[in-house]
Amino acid sequence: MNTDGTDQQRLTNQPEGACQPEWSPDGQKLLFVSSCNRKAGEYAQGAIYVMNADGTNVQTCITKIGGVYDASWSDSGIAFTHLENNTSHIYVASDVASGCGSPNIISAPRSKDSQPSWSSGGERLVFENTSRAGRPTIYWMFKDGTFAGSSPNQVTRDQDAVAPAWQPGGNYIAYVANSQIWVVLWDKVGFGTRQLTAKGPNDDPKWSPDGQWMTFESWRDNANHDIYIMTSGGSLQTRLTDDPAADYHPAWRP
C-alpha cells in the first residue's frame, strides 16, 4: 500500500498463510515467512520464501527443521531466527547474489537470541536475548557474531524490551517495552531512552528508508489490530488500515 494507506494490493496466496515481509536492499524482491496463519512470537513450521516485488515467482529460500522466521535483509545477507529444540539462535545467509545461500549460525551456543535487525551497511545487528540479563533485553553484535568486548553490549536496560529495529542511516534503535514504542542510541548501553507512544498496546516498529518516519502495529482504544504511522519523534500518529481482520508486520520498501 501507499504510505497513506491507499492502493492496497494482495501479493501472496499461500494456503498456510504468509507473514513477516521484508524487502531486499534494492527493493526488487520481497521475502516472507510461511506457514503462519496468525501473529505469533515464534513460527515452529516457518520457512523463508522470496518473490518478486509484484508477488510473482515465489521461491523457497531458507528452510531448517524447527522453523525459521524474523528475517532481516541487508547487503551482508539475510539474518534470521532458527528455533531448534525450543532454543532460538540467529543465523546469517550471506550469499547476497542469490538472496539465500547456506546459512551459518552467529549466536553463541547457549545464547537464546532472536529478532535480528541490521544496521545500515550491514556491519552490525541488534537482537533480542532472553538468556543473559534474566529478562528480554536488546544487544548488538558484529555481522559475524563477534562482540566489541568479551560479551555483547546492551542496547536496553531495566526493561523487558523486544522488537528492535535499527534506524536506516542513523544511530537510533526503536523497540517495544510495556507495549509502548521507545528509541535509544545503539551505543549508549541503554541510557537516554525516549518513549514515543502513550496509547497502546503497540508492536513491531519499522523505520522508513530515510529514518524520518515509522510504521507500527496498534490495537489502541479497543480498535482493530491495525497499522499506524508516525514521525520518528512520535508525532502525527495516524491509523492507516481498517480491515476487520488483524493487520500486522509492516515493512517499508527501500
pLDDT reported for residue 98: 62
Question: What percent of the residues of the chain are helix, what percent strand, and what percent coil, each to the nearest 5?
Answer: 0, 40, 60
> Of 63, 68, 87, 79, which Cα lies nearest the Cα of 117?
79
Question: What pLDDT digit, counting tens, does each position of 153-212 carry?
Answer: 999 999 999 999 999 999 999 999 999 999 999 999 999 999 999 999 999 999 999 999
pTM of the predicted model as reported, rounded to 2 decimal places: 0.95
pLDDT reported for residue 73: 95
Domains identified in the chain and CATH numbers: 19-239 (2.120.10.30)
* For the chain, percent of residues with pLDDT exceeding 70: 98
Residue 137's pLDDT band (boundaries 50, 70, 90)?
very high
Sequential DSSP letters for 49-114: EEEETTS-S-EEEE--TT-EEEEEEETTEEEEEEEETTEEEEEEE-BTTTTB---EE-S-TT--EE
